[in-house]
């Protein structure tokens, strides 16, 4: 089975990077790290799993919120240390209630972040 190259030492653990991208619009929804166990569970279940270096464990995206990511396709980059999960996002990817975690745009003077995100749920009701 093809696997990513978990070659980067990130916060003390060998990991690869995983980008979650909407499979229909190509909007980038989040970036996280992944280890072999999280990758294997993603392949087995068809649902995106990642590795949290702050909690030092793998997690099923949406395990608490129900906002599961169904993996439609996986792309590998040239040296296989980064992958893209093309996904169907249920609910929203961001714990703030936005559809994408990348909801802030740098202003032209570089001094402000402008909220350009789509609010898709109320985090107070979900978490």
Copy the structure tokens of residue 60. 């099923």
Which residue, among 115, 5, 111, 56, has the nearest Cα to 18 in the 3D structure?
5
Determine, following the binding rule CB under 8 A, whether residue 96 of this chain makes contact with a second copy.
yes
Instruction: Check residue 122 for interaction with a second copy (CB under 8 A).
Output: no
49 within 8 A of 38, measured Cβ to Cβ: yes
Quick one: which H or E segment has residue 83? strand 82-89
Burial letters for 13-25: b for 16+ Cβ neighbours within 10 Å, e otherwise? eebbbbbbbbbee
Q: Total residues at the site for a second copy (CB under 8 A)?
A: 43
Cβ at position 90, least distance to a second copy in Å: 18
Rounded to a whole number of angstroms, the minimum distance from the CB of residue 36 to a second copy is 14
Give the residue with the Cβ less far from a second copy, 14 or 66.
Answer: 14
Binding residues vs a second copy (CB under 8 A): 1-2, 8-12, 17, 19, 21, 25-28, 30-31, 43, 53, 73-78, 80, 82, 84, 94-96, 98, 101-107, 110-113, 116
């Amino acid at each position: 089975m093809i696997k990513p190259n978990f070659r980067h030492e990130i916060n003390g653990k060998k990991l690869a990077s995983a980008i979650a991208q909407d499979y229909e619009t190509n909007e980038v929804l989040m970036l996280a790290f992944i280890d072999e166990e999280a990758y294997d569970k993603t392949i087995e279940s068809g649902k995106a799993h990642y590795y949290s270096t702050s909690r030092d464990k793998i997690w099923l995206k949406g395990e608490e919120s129900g906002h599961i990511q169904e993996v439609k396709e996986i792309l590998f980059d040239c040296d296989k240390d980064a992958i893209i999960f093309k996904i169907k996002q249920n609910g929203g990817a961001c714990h703030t209630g936005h559809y994408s975690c990348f909801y802030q745009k740098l202003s032209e003077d570089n001094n402000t972040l402008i909220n350009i995100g789509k609010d898709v749920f109320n985090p107070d009701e979900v978490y």
